[in-house]
Chain A
Amino acid sequence: MAGMKTATGEYIDSSWELRVFVGEEDPEAESVTLRVTGESHIGGVLLKIVEEIKRKQDWSDHAIWWEQKRQWLLQTHWTLDKYGILADARLFFGPQHRPIILRLPNRRALRLRASFSQPLFQAVAAICRLLSIRHPEELSLLRAPVKKEKKKKDKEQEEELYDLTKVVLAGGVAPALFRGMPAHFSDSAQTEACYHMLSRPQPPPDPALLQRLPRPSSLLDKTQLHSRWLDSSRCLMQQGITAGDMLWLRFKYYSFFDLDPKTDPVRLTQLYEQARWDMLLEETDCTEEEMMVFAALQYHINKLSQSGEVGEPTGTDPGLDDLDAALNNLEVKLEGSAATDVLDNLTTIPELKDYLRIFRLTLRPRKLTLKGYRQHWVVFKETTLSYYKSQDEAPGDPIQQLNLKGCEVVPDVNVSGQKFCIKLLVPSPEGMSEIYLRCQDEKQYAHWMAGCRLASKGRTMADSSYPSEVQAILAFLSLQRTGGGGSGGHPQGPDAAAEGLNPYGLVAPRFQRKFKAKQLTPRILEAHQNVAQLSMSEAQLRFIQAWQSLPDFGISYIVVRFKGSRKDEILGIANNRLIRIDLAVGDVVKTWRFSNMRQWNVNWDIRQVAIEFDEHINVAFSCVSASCRIVHEYIGGYIFLSTRERARGEELDEDLFLQLTGGHEAF
């Protein structure tokens, strides 16, 4: 035992005094002084410290941090000598788990305790387990960007901060579900709210905010983000993070394994949110048509989320739905009086008849007939539209009969102008005929529009989705009526407040500049008709898929200098390839696929990455905008992700990950 003394008080062993500060790194911290020898084990030292402090407390999470070496002393059976600790070492006895503020992919802030002593990879895995996000290997943490302290005036109002620091997870087992959420969330109303925040999509952002947030204007800007990734193989403490710091949690690797709406509500939602912000902030470019689809999906998801219909998939298979509807129909009939006209009833299909104004634009070869809107008696039955001069002539031959199956239906609506037109592009063997139906009011419009849409898909108004389609159209019109758009559009009435979405919150700012709100709304509506039947998770999944199929999807950009080149270029890293991109023009110069990669080396001293591909193709570059560690980790990470197998489930080969991504720093 250290500290043997003679009667005169002289130490006769080789013991010396070790001073340990208690608490986090703080020069003012209280300290204890121990008598130790080089042979003292860390475990013994820990015990002594606790004894010295003389306070009753749960110390189990505490460990010693060696400040100079930036290292935790976690091997309790190691001696001080083995660690190389001498009397001058500045040691801090502090908790391994400390609170941090996470900025989630949905941009909400969440306070929780993260491990400051484990490699980041494990710390992230623990965070993801807490948030119930599967496949934590796809996520990582970034430093928050340095805030510019210029604008003190418009201090952002105190945002809601969710707190999960008190939640403790039982280790090992997968969290059980309780009341539709992982059990550890159902403890209090507060944590429950937190789960809802995590698992449900956020409402669209304020368009003004969208305008204000920084957007990348060039490829160079897109490289900024990637310099902030933390190192997966080192702990937070080693990377200079302190308690209370803000960190971003993001999906880092764009290779999403086994997305499952049933088991992954939080993961799916957060991924959707990341994708949505990616589109809104123009991180990934898309075309106008694509943006309308994204906007329509957001609108739809938001609507479902507000109406609480998070629920089950509405119809996995339309055919099944129809069958159910027909079955119900038949059942009703069978239960009722012994009707003999079952056949009739089954085949009866609701029809629409009304006076509408019709405008035809017939493009016969070489001849363009233009006639103004004329009042006609229009009968819409099954998928066929027939019109007559007047109701009296209806039994006779119609002026024209159009089968709407396969036709294109385009809304042409101006609510404030009370214009409710349906433009139909009806295919026929001769080509397309264009016809405009003008309805009197919203209600009529919604019914006819819904009918046209179903007919274009070859379904009739007997379809079970007809009423909901009508409702969806009315809802969308009301959105337009509340003057959605403009800066000061105040929704009228409580009902409208829920629906009164601003279409500008659904598209990237460049479309705000390009279109007026009233131009945007019908286009979103048009795109919406293709997604209106999706359930929430289906819609989110669809959004993610559309995002994934963008050509620029999932490329992380880094400024590099290729060996032998005189100018900086961009290296794009995607889940299956490396791309060399011209910095100025943005053109792809060359692509190398990971599947052809033999090996890669990093020379940490000259900050150079050298890669060898099949057939002796060698590439080398030094990293400019980010450290080469980040590039290295990206490549290794993607290689790691490609080794995942369905059969293995969620088991994570952490060693392999660290092997592939680490290796540059001695622990």
Chain B
Amino acid sequence: MGESNEDIDQMFSNLLGEMDLLTQSLGVDTLPPPDPKPPGAEFNYSVGFKDLNESLNALEDQDLDALMADLVADISEAEQRTIQAQKESSQNQRPPTSLEMPDFSGAGTLGYGANVAAVSVSHYEYDLPPPPADPMVDLPPPPPPPEPLSQEEEAAQAKADKIKLALEKLKEAKVKKLVVKVHMNDNSTKSLMVDERQLTRDVLDNLFEKTHCDCNVDWCLYEIYTELQIERIFEDHENVVEVLSDWTRDTENKVLFLEKEEKYAVFKNPQNFYLDNKGKKDGKEKNEKMNAKNKESLLEESFCGSSIIVPELEGALYLKEDGKKSWKRRYFLLRASGIYYVPKGKTKTSRDLACFIQFKNVNIYYGIQCKMRYKAPTDYCFVLKHPQIQKESQYIKYLCCDDARTLNQWVMGIRIAKYGKTLYDNYQRAVARAGLASRWTNLGPASAAPPSTGLKAGTTQANGQIPQAAHSVSAVLEEAQRHAETAKDKKPALGNHDPGAPRAHQLPKSSLPPPPPVRRSSDVCGSPATVPRAKGPRGGFPALPDDSLPPPPPPP
């Protein structure tokens, strides 16, 4: 066993050496002089580059400088940590910015994660592949096995650990990175290095650090397809590089960093999505203020059960017909399995419905100015398309709603159907990130100051009646009925006590008020719910990538 161990060690150092070579070779040509673009020219293509050189090449001077400053900071941080492991003085490697790159591609990612996930950094530190002669080799492998293992097992364990290490190192050498130019609210831009393992959440956290904004949950990355005039919010669990790789090289698409209250509107005011009463006229402008407790139970019911509940949503929408200019009005229904419509001459029972689209392969976008561009009946449009489609195509589906409220309900409903519980997990993480101990303290102010732009007509019934198909006629009937009932209902209460009740003691034990459910949110859905299924770098094993191994080799 000892011999084979040595062999392994030997191999290991070979491997590391090889990787160094690899990174070196990657680095060799990474030093193009930044190609200054003519100042004042509109700078459109922020991303879409498949490799680092190119993206760096495309950067403007000041961008590059800023980026470099970032990188240097990050790297020096990383190096501080790895310094004892590295024989060479890091000082030598680091002076002028232009010489930075070779080192960066190897270790940069490492340092870059610093502010994103401290956990992973510290783990790295411990785990870092030491150079062959390092004293750390003799240390017992982390993590210490819970029970004493036999020698063989121990050796096997050590080997496995080393292999893991090697794999991580390999992966790092191959990690794809993009320089993303993010447009800020104030029309400024920031360039960020995003590696392919980073989720939107990580990038947002990164941006929080850089911008010192208030970090509230509404901040999001937002993609705009300038050409198609569609846009959408990045979901926090989405892999940024993956999304951006769908863009074409010459794309005019942009990434924005801004606040959108639509992002988590459903969690702030679930009643607007789950208890909306369409039957009632929007006459009384009441954004129904549900109390926090009811909201909590509604959310818990909808998102914390064994399966999530998609808001019941149905109604007539306009559909832009494939490849044509006309819009056709159809009755659509949202189900967990997709969007359906009622075929001509059929009823809206489940068995008659025809499937319009399922969500697996499409993303949902807001359509901008569809009225102008596509002669849509209103400007409240949403668009479904495969993320890879970048040009106009008959495979892009345009739907148009009567008003903004309906639009927001559909978009949110579709997001819930598509992403399910993940959306709620994202929200809870965002809340945690916003530095709030409990999401309810956040909900308080949120409901006190109801959103003014996004959802203006929050007309939920005071009693929280779910509308479903409540149409105005039935609503009127209902109203009458209710009056009748309220008027008469005093009597049965009495009747309950008197008339022919043969035995008095059988009387209503049942008239107990239903005990208010005493639930503690933190127990039921808090801690267990927020633990993501090994998503993101916070899982137990830091370097574990989300997607499969091995990652494609970097483009030559």
Contacts and interface: CB of A to CB of B under 8 A. Distances in A.
Contact of B350 (A286, A592, A602, A613): A286
B519 A645 contact: yes
B115 to A, nearest CB: 24
A293 interface: yes
B144 interface: no
A53 interface: no
Contacts of A326: 167, 549-550
Interface string A504-515: 000000100000
A213 interface: no
Interface string A545-587: 1101111100000000011110000000000110100000011
A343 B76 CA distance: 29
Q: Does more than half of chain B's interface fall in helix, strand or loop, or is it mixed?
A: loop
Interface in B501-522: 501, 503, 505-506, 508-515, 517-520
A491 interface: no
Interface in A438-461: 458-459
Interface in B260-312: 275, 294, 297-298, 301, 305-310, 312
A665 interface: yes
B39 interface: no
Contact of A589 (B470, B515, B553): B470
B53 to A, nearest CB: 21
Interface in B366-423: 386-391, 393-396
A358 B499 CA distance: 83
B8 A334 contact: yes
B545 interface: yes
Interface string B340-372: 100000000111010100101100000000000
Contacts of A363: 394
Nearest to A596: B464
Contact of A319 (B166, B395, B515, B546): B546
B338 interface: yes
A346 interface: yes
A106 B14 CA distance: 60
Contacts of B167: 323, 326-327, 330
B464 A614 contact: yes
Nearest to A577: B466
A318 interface: yes
Contacts of B510: 600-602, 632, 636, 660, 662-664
A562 B389 contact: no
A589 B478 contact: yes
A70 interface: no
Nearest to A576: B301
A451 to B, nearest CB: 15
Contact of B503 (A335, A427, A666): A666
A330 B350 contact: no
Nearest to B173: A343
A318 B548 contact: yes
A406 interface: yes
A659 B509 contact: yes
Contacts of B360: 530
A544 B248 CA distance: 41
A588 interface: yes
Interface residues of A, number: 110
Question: Looking at A318, A323, A346, A459, which has the most chain B CB atoms within 10 Å of its CB?
Answer: A323
Contact of B523 (A334, A604, A645): A645
A429 B248 contact: yes
Contacts of A596: 463-464
A289 B489 contact: no
Contacts of A598: 513-514
A505 to B, nearest CB: 19
Interface in A374-404: 382
A185 to B, nearest CB: 26
Contacts of A563: 484-485, 488
Contact of A615 (B18, B462, B467): B462
A285 B351 contact: yes
A148 interface: no
A384 to B, nearest CB: 10
A535 to B, nearest CB: 15
A589 B466 CA distance: 10
A603 interface: yes
Interface of B: 4, 7-8, 10-11, 14-15, 18, 22, 159-160, 163-164, 166-167, 170, 246, 248, 275, 294, 297-298, 301, 305-310, 312, 335-338, 340, 349-351, 353, 355, 358, 360-361, 386-391, 393-396, 462-470, 474, 477-478, 481-482, 484-486, 488-489, 492-493, 495-496, 499-501, 503, 505-506, 508-515, 517-520, 523-524, 533-534, 544-550, 552-553
23 contacts: A287-B335, A319-B549, A323-B544, A331-B159, A334-B159, A340-B14, A430-B391, A462-B550, A548-B305, A548-B306, A549-B309, A563-B488, A586-B349, A589-B470, A593-B466, A601-B508, A606-B492, A616-B486, A617-B482, A639-B517, A645-B519, A647-B523, A666-B503
